[in-house]
Amino acid sequence: MIWPEPIILASGSQRRKQLLRSAGWKVFVQPAHVDDGQLNSRDIPARAWVAAMAWLKARSVMLQQFPGELAGGTILAADTVCDLDGEIIGQPPDIESARDMISRFRNRSHRVTTGVCLLRTDGCCRRIFTDTANVSLGDLSDDMISEYLVTNAWQGKAGGYNLFERVADGWPLEWTGDESTIVGLPMRRLQSMLGSSSEREDQG
């Protein structure tokens, strides 16, 4: 296998960890020492930005010390942003920024792009790719936005929302593409690269 277990997730995201574990992968969390909130994307296209951020995060983890059980594993780093008319929209720093983001999304479509970097702990193999999905938000009322914002569920989420949570709460959302890309990890493409749990059992 090119990408051996365990997977070392370069993120504290519970959503990403859950997606990987649900697919049958053994996952350890080792957050990267990269604060993307301190960086400015300027006019960089969304695909280039998330690819660069995923690589920086993976490299940060590779340079850390690994306990014996993680040596020889695969680092997985990811970054997700929204793209509205060519403007990159990341995680809102405060409640008013979250309100502005969600209000701008109303009655329009935006793109959500996730970049992924797979990196062997010894640095011998690297793969970077991106995946994009399109999301449309309908006529969400001001009251619904305000009720959502006070829950603080917008924190730590690109564009200020999580697709699955908002659909369950009745938001008028539609999308095309891989829904897991929208929540932070393009599992359709990842599973084709990493292999299913049954394939790994056969190889073992």
Residues contacting 7, CB < 8 A, separation 6+: 20, 25, 26, 27, 28, 73, 74, 75, 76, 194
Residues contacting 54, CB < 8 A, separation 6+: 77, 78, 79, 115, 116, 117, 128
- State the catalytic residue, choosing from 36, 79, 83, 131: 79
Q: Are 166 and 145 in contact (CB under 8 A)?
A: no
Active site annotation includes 79: yes
User: What are 67's two structure tokens?
Assistant: 């306990």
Tracing tokens 């949570």 back to the chain, one arrives at 165
User: What are 143's two structure tokens?
Assistant: 């009251």
Choose among 69, 76, 94, 65: nearest CA to 11: 76
Q: Are 81 and 158 in contact (CB under 8 A)?
A: yes
Q: Catalytic residue numbers?
A: 79
